[in-house]
Amino acid sequence: MTIDDLKKNNLILLECISGSRAYGLETKDSDTDIKGVFYLPKQTFYGFDYIPQISNHSNDIVYYELGRYMELLSLNNPNILELLNTPESSVIYKNPILNDLTSKLILSKLCLNTFGKFALSQIKKAKGLNKKINNPVSKKRKSLLEFCYVNHNKGAIPLITYLNQNNWHQKHCGLLNIDHMKYVYGLYYNDKKEFNGIIKKPNSSNICLSSIPKSEKQHALMFFNKDGYSLYCKRYKEYWQWVEKRNESRYKNTKSHGKNYDTKNMMHTFRLLDMAIEIANENQVNVHRPNREFLLSIKRGEYEYQDLIKLANQKQSEMVAAFASSNIQQKPNIELINNLLVKYRQEIYSNNNS
């Protein structure tokens, strides 16, 4: 089933403009995001083909099946609470059947965690970008040999330095386990014998051991920093996966303002924290933001990263205190929400005979 199918068969119950345009935070470059609610025809709903969500390829148009929508509301999911409370100016279509569904039936102290965790995830994303920008990983991958060291003059030197000093090639080296010494090996060299070398290939991820005759001389002890190599491999993979998948326009914007963090993530951190505080104090979800200029100034990179982190921590403390003193219900009334869902389905299916 596709979005076109939903429209062609009149299955949409709610359709709204969402995201920056609903928040009042749109700029000339903003896309138009759409969220909505649909219902499945009776036969599809009762059969094996339940579909909880339908979206386009870029995920900026998303419709939730009625049951999934109600379920997420019962969990106080921020995105779904925003959809329920979309400003009238951003509502494209709303079936009157949903008119008795209000946020006051839904909102609870669960929002402390749902909005709070969502806000913290935005900080984490901003921190992650900050870390990646300030700690780039070279495209040329390091060899395992660069994580090996040899004892030398009461200390240690890199294995590669040691090999160069002796005009040795790693393929003529042999390694032997040293009992009771983890990742420490006896290093042997003989260009006339068939040793296995230290690594078989330039991109090898493990060292090689050799069968060493007792007559061979051990030249040094070699230490393989395996933990360091594993950490490097993880960082390398994560960094270049991020480069491959990153949003180039947002990345270029981040580089252009020179603050080295994702300002859009940080803007949404403050939007979410403010909305959570308002829920605790006012028992309502205010989607359209009154502090547009402040939030957009964050997006433009007008604040230093550490200053925003400090301010976010203060907001988080304010949020926790607001929920502690709030008279909002502890949890949503699941039975009430379930009864509403049953009522909606009964009305829909009786009216449409489908």
Instruction: Identify residue 38 by its one-letter amino acid code.
Output: F
What pTM does this model have? Answer: 0.67
What does the alpha-carbon distance between residue 100 and residue 103 come to, in Å, rounded to a whole number? 10
Could you tell me the pLDDT band of residue 176, with boundaries at 50, 70 and 90?
very high
Q: What's 329's DSSP letter?
A: -
24 burial via Cβ count (<10 Å: 0-12, 13-18, 19+): middle
123-152 tens-digit pLDDT:
766 655 556 666 788 989 999 999 999 999
Cross-sheet strand order for the sheet of 218-224:
155-158, 148-152, 218-224, 184-189, 173-177
Per-residue pLDDT at 49? 85
Q: Which residues pair with 18 in a beta bridge?
A: 33
184-200 tens-digit pLDDT:
999 999 998 889 999 99
217-231 tens-digit pLDDT:
999 999 999 999 999
Q: Where are the alpha helices (DSSP H) in 159-304?
A: 159-165, 226-245, 248-257, 263-282, 292-299
| CATH architecture of structural domain 1-102+332-354 | 2-Layer Sandwich (3.30)
In the chain, where are the structural domains located? Answer: 1-102+332-354, 107-136+247-329, 144-230
Per-residue pLDDT at 256? 52
Per-residue pLDDT at 137? 86
What does the alpha-carbon distance between residue 354 and residue 3 come to, in Å, rounded to a whole number? 19
Token pair in block for residue 138: 């070279």
Per-residue pLDDT at 124? 67
Per-residue pLDDT at 128? 57
Per-residue pLDDT at 352? 74
CB half-sphere exposure, 286, CA atoms < 13 A: 16
